[in-house]
Amino acid sequence: MKNFKSAFTMIELVFVIVVLGILASIALPKFIATRTDAVIAKGRSDVASIRTAISTERQKRFMQGDSSYINHLDANVTVNTIGVTVFDDNGTATNRLLTYGITTKDADGGWVKLDIDKYVYRVKQNLWIPFYYDATEGTFNCDATAGTAIEQDYCAKLTK
């Protein structure tokens, strides 16, 4: 009767490591693309919510005899500050734009207020897409014709 040891040979271990390396090299780019797609989806959702809130606020004002759009998307928010809430009111606690607002953050999928009615959305590290609110037209858009081709592409993805 032969006595065999239960073990893997060095060639079998190398083969398994090579196969795992190949699988990882295929999966990693897909994972990174999925993350960017999620950030774009979040941004599109935020933009749609803000636009809907602007429209809803105008309809509410219109029923009261005022056909103007709201003056600003938020009030008393310090620009370039992380951890504050934007898009939440128009100067009064009773006149809320978004019920909970959006907290600013310096991370992918984060908003930062640059100036009155000017915001940026971070898609990737060092890639910020600028958005502007126009109170006369009631629009919240990014400029799809300005910036680099990559910024124009992401602007289009965020607003379609």
- The SS3 assignment for 115 reads strand
127 burial class (0-12, 13-18, 19+ CB within 10 angstroms)?
A: middle
pLDDT value at residue 147: 84
pLDDT greater at residue 78 or residue 3 = 78
| Pick from 21-25, 31-35, 109-113, 120-124: least confident | 31-35
Q: What is the pTM of this model?
A: 0.77
pLDDT band (50, 70, 90) for residue 93: low
When mean pLDDT is compared across 5-14, 27-36, 51-60, 81-90, the lowest value belongs to 27-36
Parse the chain into domains and list their residue ranges: 10-159
Is pLDDT of 153 > 60?
yes
What is the maximum span of the chain, computed from C-alpha positions, in angstroms?
A: 99
Q: b/e for 47-62, b at 16 or more Cβ within 10 A?
A: beebeebbeebbeeee
Q: How many whole angstroms from its chain centre is CA 61?
A: 29
- Give the pLDDT of residue 92: 58
Among the ranges given (55-59, 145-149, 154-158), the one the predictor scored with the smallest mean pLDDT:
145-149
Is the pLDDT at 120 greater than 80, yes or no?
A: yes
What is the per-residue pLDDT for 40? 93
pLDDT at 141 over 80: yes
- Cβ–Cβ under 8 Å, residues 88 and 53: no
